[in-house]
Amino acid sequence: MPDRDEARALTGTLTSETLETLRDLGRIADARGVGAFVVGGVVRDAILERTCEDLDVVVEDDAIEFAEAAARELGGHVKRYDRFGTAILLLKHGVKVDVATSRSELYSRPGALPDVAPDPIEMDLRRRDFTLNAMAVRINRDGFGELLDPTAGREDLAAGVLRVIHKRSFEDDPTRVLRCIRFSARFSFTLDPLTEALLRSAVERDLVSTVSGERIMNEIRLILSEDEDWSPLNQLDSLGALASIHSNWRLPENGARLFSKLQTILENPLGSMGSATPWRARFLLAVSALPPCDTRALLDRLRSGTALRNIVDGLARFDVEARELLESESEIPRSDIHDALAAFHSETLAVVLASSGPVLSERITLYLSELDGVRPILSGADLVALGLEEGTVLGQTLADLQRARLDGIVTSEAEEREFVRKAIRDLDVENKR
C-alpha cells in the first residue's frame, strides 16, 4: 500500500470543479452508507499528471439509484442504462460522471459479454484489463483520497509497464488485445513479458474473431483517434490481429510514409478538408490496399455505419470515375477539375492526396484552395426574374453559369446576367427551329 499522504496527493491533480463534484458524490454515498470511488483512467491519468476527460465513479450500491439520488440533491439529470445497471449523471454545472455498481464478472466463453454480480471494490478492480487501469481513489469523506491499488498498478506506471491482471484476461475479453496495443502506444510502455506471451497466444488462437463487430469497430475507432501514430495498426498487422478481423486485411505496404503524409494534410487542411474526420481518413488509408469486395466484407464484419461506408466506397469510385482524367498530363479546364472532385468526401480526397503524384496532387490542391465552393452570384430566383421558368433548364443554366465562373469566362454580376440572357436567346432560337 503506498504512503497514505502520497495517495491523498493524487486528488491534487484534479481540477477544483472535479474535486468538488467528487466530494459531493462522496457525501451522498456517506448518507446512503455505501463506499464510493473514482476509478480507472482518471486515477491513472492523475498519477501521470495527464488530463483526463472521463470521470468514472464506482459505488458499492445500485448505480442507477445512486445517480438519481445525486441528480436530485445536486441538480442535474440521469441517463439510465438499465440493461447494464449503469448511469450517466449530467450535473447542472456541466460535469458528466459515469456511474457503475462495483461488480465482478464471469465470462462463459471468449468474446461473450460477461455475467456480472455486485461485489466489493477490490473485486471490481481485479476484473479490469491492465494493472494501470485497476486503481481507485476513495471519495467517501472518511478516507477521501486514499488509493486502492490491489494489483500494484502504480509500480507498473512508474516502471512504464503494461501488464494484464490475470492469465485468462485476453481469453475473457479479446478486445483487450486491441486495448493493449492502444495503451502501450499511447504511453510508450513496454509489455510485461508474460502479458506479451499471452497476447501473442490469444492472437494465434484467433480469439479476436469471437468479438462482435461493434466492439471491434469501437476499439479501432479509438486506436485511430489517438493522434499521429501508425505503429498500433502496424503492430496489430504484424501480430496477425487484423487478419483475425478479416482474413485479407493487410495495411498498404508503404503505410507509415502515407500515414505521415496524411497527418500533414489533416493538420494543415486546405478549404473544406478542415471538415474531415481524422479517424475516418486514417481508417480509409488502413483499408486502401484491399480490393473493394474485401473492403465491403470487412465493413460488414465491423457493422460499420453509412458515413464510413460512403467514404470507403468513394475511394473505389475515385479510381473508376476521376483518376484517369485528373492524372492526365494534358491541360483540363478548371470546371472539369471541379466537377470531377466535387462528389467526393474530404476524407477520400485526403487519402488520395496523400498517395498522389505531382499532377493529381496539384489538381486536388487547386480544387481545395480555389475551386471548391465557387458559386455564381446570381441565384435561381435571379434567373427566374431574367425570364427562365423553374425546372431542369434553369438547373442546367445555373450549372453552366457555375462552370463559366470556374473557368473565368464570367467574372462579375453584369457578365453573369449577360451569360444568362445569351442562354435564353439561344434557347429561343432552338425552340423556334
The amino acid at residue 221 is: R
- Residue whose cell numbers read 481469453: 171
Distance CA 34, CA 21 (A): 17
Interface stretch with ligand ATP, choices 128-136, 252-260, 345-353, 388-396 (CB under 6 A): 128-136
Asked if 6 touches ligand ATP (CB under 6 A), the answer is no
Per CB under 6 A, the list member of 6, 17, 54, 418 interacting with ligand ATP is 54
In the range 8-47, which residues lie near ligand ATP by CB under 6 A? 40-41
Q: How long, in residues, is the chain?
A: 433
Distance CA 337, CA 249 (A): 33
Per CB under 6 A, the list member of 171, 173, 229, 339 interacting with ligand ATP is 173
Q: Kindly state the number of chain residues that form the binding site for ligand ATP, as judged by CB under 6 A.
A: 12
Pick the closer one to ligand ATP by CB: 35 or 41.
41
Nearest to 4 by CA among 211, 219, 148, 120: 148
Pick the closer one to ligand ATP by CB: 125 or 258.
125
Pick the closer one to ligand ATP by CB: 166 or 375.
166
When CB distances to ligand ATP are compared, the closest residue is 41
| Ramachandran angles phi, psi of 336, nearest 5° | -70, -40
Per CB under 6 A, the list member of 128, 138, 154, 345 interacting with ligand ATP is 128
Per CB under 6 A, the list member of 175, 195, 277, 356 interacting with ligand ATP is 175
Site string for ligand ATP, 133-152 (x = CB under 6 A): xx------------------
Smallest distance from the beta carbon of 189 to ligand ATP, in angstroms? 13
Sign of the CA dihedral running 6, 10, 13, 14: negative
Per CB under 6 A, the list member of 129, 149, 156, 229 interacting with ligand ATP is 129
Interface stretch with ligand ATP, choices 138-146, 168-176, 275-283, 331-339 (CB under 6 A): 168-176
Nearest to 382 by CA among 401, 365, 363, 368: 401
Smallest distance from the beta carbon of 84 to ligand ATP, in angstroms? 12
The SS3 call for residue 117 is strand
Nearest to 351 by CA among 308, 394, 380, 389: 308
191 burial via Cβ count (<10 Å: 0-12, 13-18, 19+): buried
In the range 283-342, which residues lie near ligand ATP by CB under 6 A? none
The string of DSSP codes covering 306-372 is HHHHHHHHHHHHHHHHTHHHHH-SS---HHHHHHHHTTS-HHHHHHHHHT--HHHHHHHHHIIIIIT
Smallest distance from the beta carbon of 41 to ligand ATP, in angstroms? 2
Smallest distance from the beta carbon of 359 to ligand ATP, in angstroms? 41
185 neighbors 231 (Cβ within 8 angstroms): yes
Interface stretch with ligand ATP, choices 10-18, 126-134, 139-147, 245-253 (CB under 6 A): 126-134
Pick the closer one to ligand ATP by CB: 179 or 345.
179
Q: How far is CA 107 from CA 115, 116, 379, in A?
A: 6, 9, 63
Which residues sit at the interface with ligand ATP, rule CB under 6 A? 40-41, 54, 56, 128-129, 133-134, 173, 175-176, 179
